[in-house]
């Protein structure tokens, strides 16, 4: 059963588990979060229940996602994302460096390229070309074998947080695409979409949606 975090007349927010694509893939037999959630809601409330997808999380990232509940809400929600008026906050467990800053910013340009070894598509920083990527980072807690980091992306590039940390020598535990620590071994990518902050376009209320850290991440902290 998918956990519903928030709901009003316009929007609905729910918690995506790790390992599930945000939306349908080429393989139609493979489950995805959006259609699983929509099916759950239609079974509860009737087959005409409306739900629209406006953003995505990486397959192995867990956390909060928000959807439009009716066609009237589509454009306002799309505008919030397009104009970067939704502040996304992520939490992750990453490799510890000897010199750790309390706060830092990474700003560069990222380009999608095929990895020569794995043949998978990944993001790399480039001197020219690519798309601007900006992330604010903060060290929240230091462990013996790792560190808990808060990341707030100001742009929405694919794998942005993962590549910004990996290229800074602070790869995220469980990352199978970018440079990452392997001891202790993580059962999943230790990256979680913790919160969304925005001003509700209909009511003008300040909204903060939080998805608690999953048990897999809290228990992994014990190993660190």
Report, as residue numbers or ranges, the catalytic residues. 58
In the block, which residue shows the tokens 């598509």?
Answer: 121
Of the candidates 200, 199, 198, 192, which has an alpha carbon nearest to the alpha carbon of residue 221? 192
Which phi and psi (to 5°) does residue 163 adopt? -75, -35
Cβ(91)–Cβ(140) below 8 Å: yes
Handedness of CA 139, 109, 190, 119 (dihedral sign): negative
Cβ(210)–Cβ(198) below 8 Å: no
């Amino acid at each position: 059963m998918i956990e519903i975090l928030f709901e009003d007349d316009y929007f609905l927010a729910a918690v995506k588990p790790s390992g599930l694509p945000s939306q349908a893939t080429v393989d139609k037999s493979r489950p995805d979060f959006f259609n699983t959630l929509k099916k759950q809601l239609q079974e509860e409330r009737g087959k005409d229940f409306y739900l629209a997808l406006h953003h995505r999380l990486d397959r192995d990232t867990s956390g909060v996602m928000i959807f439009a509940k009716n066609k009237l809400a589509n454009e306002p929600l799309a505008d919030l994302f397009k104009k970067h008026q939704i502040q996304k906050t992520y939490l992750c467990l990453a490799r510890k460096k000897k010199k750790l800053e309390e706060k830092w910013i990474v700003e560069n340009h990222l380009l999608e390229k095929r990895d020569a070894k794995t043949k998978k598509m990944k993001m790399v920083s480039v001197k020219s070309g690519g798309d601007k990527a900006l992330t604010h980072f903060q060290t929240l807690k230091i462990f013996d074998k790792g560190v808990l980091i808060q990341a707030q992306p100001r742009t929405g590039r694919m794998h942005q947080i993962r590549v910004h940390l990996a290229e800074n020598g602070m790869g995220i535990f469980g990352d199978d695409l970018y440079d990452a620590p392997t001891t202790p071994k993580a059962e999943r990518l230790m990256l979680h979409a913790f919160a969304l902050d925005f001003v509700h376009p209909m009511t003008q209320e300040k909204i903060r949606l939080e998805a608690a850290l999953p048990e897999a991440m809290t228990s992994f902290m014990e190993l660190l």
